[in-house]
Amino acid sequence: MRYHTPDNFDEASALAAQASGTTRFLAGGTDVLVQLRSDIVTPDDLIDIKHIPGVREITNEDHGGWRIGVAVSGAEMTEHPRLELDWPGVVEAMDLIGSTQVQGRATLVGNLCNGSPAADAVPALAAAGAHVTVVGPNGSREIAVEDVPTGPGKTCLEKGEVISALHLPRRGHAAGDAYLRFIPRTEMDIAVVGAAINLRLDGDTITEARVALGAVAPTVRLVPKAGAALIGSTLDEAALDKLARAARAACNPIDDRRGTIKFRTKVAGVLAQRAAKIAYARAKGDRK
């Protein structure tokens, strides 16, 4: 295994583009090193991107959105004084991943690139409308978070492409997001179902809504019909009912010992409703 420490993303991309064997990028390492240690994936080239300037920074951008460096850990996001005020759902989703020790290293972009259908941070990012900047051999491009995963453990990134930053949009007024997951215990488990909601209000009426689900399909899924079910409503019973039906209709889960198809599908509707209530309260100014 060759270990590389490029100084910039063009160099990181070139290293990956030229590599002939298995290549992995290393940020927090909480997936890459587990796979290495378990002899699942032993890279021929391991490209540590933590020596690139800016990768450990959370920056408030000119247009009011946030840029999150690809090596920012979950703990750094939770400790940030302002990020959680804008995007509590994204921060709480990331904070659900793993132990204190894992939080010290794990990153948002790592959670995205690992391609798990049950990734906790990814539904929250998709609901938030986050996108990533990708640097590759043919220049850079911007990709919406929901378009990155293409199947379990798979992403749309081409050979030589590397994500250089994650961007959250400007929060704006009267808006809130939330993420909930179901696990059979109280912490440190993989989502059986995850649901993220991001809303904007005009008075009591929902004017914008994005809904994303995790662990109920081969990839994390943005569900536009579930979002549409909320728009124009005041989150009344009828709207919640439509939301749950649209969320369940988008489910195509696996049947395994942690949850049956029937169970996951039912819970997806319930969690979407509960997360919508939290997001709505946050959009009204509730800071909890």
Residues of the shown chain interacting with other proteins in the complex, contacts defined by CB under 8 A: 1-3, 26, 29-30, 33-34, 36-38, 42, 46, 48, 50, 73, 75, 98-102, 104-105, 187-188
Whole-angstrom distance, CA of residue 246 vs CA of residue 60: 35
* Nearer CB in complex with other proteins: 50/242: 50
**Do residues 116 and 131 lie in contact, with contact meaning Cβ atoms separated by under 8 Å?**
no
- Look-up of token digits 């709207």: 239
* Nearer CB in complex with other proteins: 104/153: 104
**Do residues 72 and 163 lie in contact, with contact meaning Cβ atoms separated by under 8 Å?**
no
Whole-angstrom distance, CA of residue 69 vs CA of residue 165: 5
Least distance in Å: CB of 208 to other proteins?
34
Least distance in Å: CB of 100 to other proteins?
5
Least distance in Å: CB of 48 to other proteins?
7
* Nearer CB in complex with other proteins: 258/266: 258
Q: Which two tokens stand for residue 4?
A: 């590389």
* Nearer CB in complex with other proteins: 111/273: 111
* Nearer CB in complex with other proteins: 11/95: 95
* Nearer CB in complex with other proteins: 20/100: 100
Least distance in Å: CB of 90 to other proteins?
20
CA distances from 197 to 250, 274, 276, 285 (A): 15, 9, 6, 16
| 80 CB burial (10 A radius; 0-12, 13-18, 19+) | middle
Least distance in Å: CB of 275 to other proteins?
21
The alpha helices in the chain, defined as continuous H runs, are 9-18, 32-37, 74-79, 83-86, 88-95, 100-103, 108-113, 121-128, 224-230, 237-249, 261-283
